[in-house]
Amino acid sequence: MTTTKMTDVCTIAQMSEQGVYPSDEQRHSFAKRLLTWFELHGRHGLPWQYHHQPSADIYAVWVSEIMLQQTQVVTVLKFFEPFLARFATVQELAVADWQEVASFWAGLGYYARARNLHAGAQQVADFIDTHGRFPETVNEWQAVKGVGRSTAGAIVAMGVKKFGVMCDGNVKRVLARHRAVFGDVTKSATDKRLWEIATALTPKEYSGHYAQAMMDLGATICTRTQPKCHLCPVTDDCIAYALGVQSQLPVKKKAPPKPHWHSIALSLTHCGLTLWLHRQNGSGIWDGLWSLPIFMLPLDDNQKLDNKTLSHAIFKAWQSDDKVHDLLHSQLIEILPMPTQTSTVYLRHTLTHVHWHLYGMSICLNHSQFNQINQTLTALGIDYLWTDAPHDLPLPAAMHKLLTLSNSSA
């Protein structure tokens, strides 16, 4: 693009939250430059790109896309192949017990994804029984539990190998900068505009390679902070780069501050064994996994935390007459002595919606307390286990971290 034309484009861009729609020439050259770069510098050989079972391509792409949501490739690589080794087909996943599915997801986080994938597998297996094939269109895939518009486009493009448009967070960042979309990406009008641009730039052929290239460009070059513009294949007509505002885009309304939770993770031990509870809450975090008993503490977000404050919060949790505990915790508190802060292990665990402060504490039980707890858990129908090998259980990442901290401080 000539300097004069680029100057005109920049002027227009600064006047509009909608950015500059690509010309026909740009629509052709953008994909060409991107695919050339991807061939030379993109990430190749990922297990979901060239799966050893050609008939499982669509399924493998689907599983990978769900795992990759809000999770880096390097993390997904640790989980993807073991998951596919156990659930090699969508039919195997569909008939699997949820607790086993959860055990293969343990540590990957965002467990609602696994539950949706499991439910979606049952839908897709039924679809295959009826139609003799996987879903093949974006609309068919969007009807599957846990599959949104962008994920559906990615599956169609990379798995079905038909025309599909992907517009996830990485892609939106690239497009917002390249076309100078100054609108707030959390607003529907801006989102609609980015989808229009994404659709215009996606080539009718090789849309699967293009989708992978866009993801790679956003993940490795056009990163959220400190983008490597000198290595970008589409810098020549990137309006944000020309304006020097790439670090300001995309515009996103600042999220409200996350609340803070404070909890005790209580290690109850007897004769060298520790109590672990099987969480079966149907939809919440850690569903299907094992954890230590968790006791919420009455602490405010902005409350300064020191040993005195923590001790007072523990006292309130154990002595309060308020009905603030669930049935299990109320009954356990009646059995257990109040824990002390001796050898407390602290972990700050950040989730998408909350900062969780976990204080690992231990109580050694006498024989009477041990029997009372077993009777209480059995009466409440809670699945529990006394073990000296908790690492063999499917544990959430926070529990793994607490165990590591406890072992290192012992």
Active site residues: 65
Cβ(147)–Cβ(135) below 8 Å: no
What HEC string does 99-110 produce? HHHHHHHCCCCC
- Beta-bridge partners for 295: 264
Kindly list the distances between the CA atom of residue 174 and the CA atoms of 86, 148, 169, 348, in Å, as whole numbers in the listed order.
36, 20, 9, 32
Measured at the CA of 300, the angle between CA 296 and CA 304, to 5 degrees, comes to 110
For residue 401, give every residue at least 6 positions away whose Cβ sits within 8 Å of its Cβ, in sequence order, or none: 347, 349
Q: How many CB atoms within 10 Å of residue 300?
A: 10
Q: Nearest CA to 279 among 118, 403, 103?
A: 103
Q: Nearest CA to 170 among 225, 108, 219, 237?
A: 219
Strand ranges for 282-395 from DSSP E:
290-291, 294-296, 345-350, 355-364, 384-387
Tell me the one-letter amino acid at 221.
I
